Chain A
């Protein structure tokens, strides 16, 4: 597609429910990132996918969080048993690749999913 697409744009859920957030990166981009942005806070790295390599999950805050990327394209971030502190905007970004040439490191972001846990 023309840009990074995220869905849903807004999600309201009850505490304890599971949620799935979807990211469709720019076609041809091999690197995909998930970030979390809490109110008034900066961007918090969650997870990174590069091609067929094992993902870097070092930023996931707990084992309730998981993500997968099928076929090297679409990615899904799953949050199980949601808590109120999970409320935030979840941003997805993709780039041609990572490391090496600075230009190919430029990340393009989706509009985000605003998650509200009641």
Chain B
């Protein structure tokens, strides 16, 4: 079965710093979803990547799916306290069931 591993598990950065979160799959990805969860809330959809080499940006967050389609990275530029939360990657490996990564807990110090 396919598994998604995220790194790092947790991250504390100073406001204004850049950071990268990685999501590595044990098998080829045919669609990769990034979500953000604020503490005590549901998941908010951020971006979806489908094609190898694809890159998408929204405000200061950029996500990329590598050419071999087994890893995705999420990059935040000039982090702000509002970026704090848990970032989760998800994939639907050919069926309806999602698998989710282990999550990366981000804290941004003001």
Contacts and interface: CB of A to CB of B under 8 A. Distances in A.
Do A and B belong to a common assembly? yes
Given A42-B102, A42-B103, A106-B33, A99 B95 contact: yes
A114 B40 contact: yes
Secondary structure of the B contact surface, majority rule = loop
A103 B48 contact: yes
B95 A33 contact: no
Interface residues of A, number: 26
Given A42-B102, A42-B103, A114-B40, A98 B96 contact: yes
Given A43-B88, A105-B31, A31 B45 contact: no
Nearest to A105: B92
Contacts, number: 61
A91 interface: yes
Q: On chain B, which size bracket covers the interface? A: 20 to 34
B42 A91 contact: yes
A97 to B, nearest CB: 8
A4 to B, nearest CB: 8
Interface in A16-61: 31, 33, 42-43, 45, 48, 50, 56
23 contacts: A4-B42, A42-B100, A42-B103, A43-B98, A48-B97, A89-B40, A91-B42, A91-B43, A99-B96, A103-B48, A103-B50, A105-B33, A105-B92, A105-B96, A107-B45, A108-B45, A109-B35, A109-B43, A109-B44, A110-B42, A111-B42, A112-B42, A114-B40
